Amino acid sequence: MNSLSHVWAKRFQYYLNEVQKYMRFVFTGHLALVMVFVIGAVGYQYSEWLKIVENQFPAEWLIAIIVGLILGFSRPVTLLREPDQVYLLPLELEMENYFKKALNWTFWSQILTVSVVYIIGIPLLNKVTELTPTQVWIGLALVIVLKYLNVQIEFNFRYAIRGKNVILDRFIRIVFSILAIQTILTEFYPLTLLYLALLIFYYFSWKRSVKEQPIPYEHFVKLEENRMKAFYRFANYFTDVPHLKGAIRKRSWLNFIYFFVPYTKNNTQGYLVFRTFVRTDDHFYLWVRLTAISALVAAFVEIPIVILIVTAALAFATTIQLKYALLSSSDFRMDMLFPIAKDSRVKAVQKLIRVFIVIQAVIVLLCSIGDALFYVPPLLILLISELTFYLTKNPNQ
């Protein structure tokens, strides 16, 4: 068998190729445009808020809590697979180097997010505190150290306890991280050193426990499978992921909407499409997420052109993704055995999209009441949706 360093290198290369393959579909032109405008709008709102924020605002606590929460979620990336539970057993004594590479990647892949969040908070710190630039950047250095400790502790805790009570461990690390960041930003350095020392002691206590335990392959494999499933579900909102099967839930609390869908022979596809949409997580939560984003933008962004661009782009994304998801399925269905008109499913999907796009437009309308042109974004949503459905090609044609 090749060395474990070679095994890690091959898996890491495959992982990067897999991520790049799907991310190029995620960051398409329209999504990139939406992100540019959203980031610009949020930055503008943030800068305007900084002009009026009071000096008594608890910026240290706010930044410490947000950064501490992010630090607490330091799930290890091991790239282990199910066959490893058998084939890597003879190499268990040599797995330390493999896990060292895994934890290094975990740290470097997660440090950017928490660092960016802290850096975004620097203008707020400069506005309401008297910290010097050196003190602010020392705070960032502490955040980096805390991230390293959180990654190491979560891995060792999962290793020693076989994945049990992770929430308790996460709570402890979040509390210590928040207190360490808050005290360094308020210049209580002895307390900062105390919390840091306690976190280091907590790390070494679990590090010692690991030496007495066999490797919990089953837990780490399950953790890795869940992490990749989450990535594939996210990518599936933008492109088809062949090996991904969406979860199906009864969602009985939405049964009332079936009363509005006639249960008749002439409406076979309409009834089937509605039930498919409501019960399939990928389809239903896609609409919920995009609608929620549109509503939040309409409610909190005060730049009309940004609201129009974002709501229009999300209406386009909602329509085209639901259209492709509901029309491109190659699974066998019982309705294929019956003499139903070929275009009946297309019409049913179009009707469903119209209904939920109207609901999306109404929600945006309610969230934008008070603006001078509050009625424009909902009308634009309806127009973009209709044009998208008619001008895009139907799958399987």
pLDDT at 217 over 60: yes
> Which residues, 6 or more positions from 350, have their beta carbon under 8 angstroms from its beta carbon?
389
Closest CA to 183 of 167, 195, 173, 165: 195
Q: For residue 1, what pLDDT is reported?
A: 47
Q: Say which residue, 82 or 394, is predicted with more confidence.
A: 82
Closest CA to 381 of 363, 352, 359, 357: 357
Give the mean pLDDT of 71-85: 91
**Percent of the chain at pLDDT exceeding 90:** 38
Q: How many CA atoms lie within 13 A of 46 on its CB side?
A: 12
pLDDT at 69 over 90: yes
| pTM given for the model | 0.76
- Per the CB < 8 A criterion, the answer to whether 149 and 72 are in contact is no
Of 30-39, 97-106, 360-369, which gets the smallest average pLDDT? 30-39
pLDDT at 114 over 60: yes
Give the DSSP H or E segment for 84.
helix 84-87
Q: For residue 91, what pLDDT is reported?
A: 81
pLDDT winner (highest mean) among 22-36, 240-254, 272-286, 320-334: 272-286
Give the mean pLDDT of 234-259: 71
Tokens of 150: 């959180």
Per-residue pLDDT tens for 277-321?
Answer: 888 877 888 888 889 988 888 888 777 887 888 888 888 888 888
Per-residue pLDDT tens for 33-59?
Answer: 667 777 777 788 888 888 888 888 999
Measured on CA atoms in the order 75, 81, 86, 88, is the torsion positive or negative?
negative
Q: For residue 197, what pLDDT is reported?
A: 95
Confidence of residue 246 (pLDDT cuts 50, 70, 90): low
Closest CA to 76 of 174, 178, 159, 15: 159
Task: Report d(CA 117, CA 14) in Å as an integer.
Answer: 29
DSSP structure class, residue 213: S
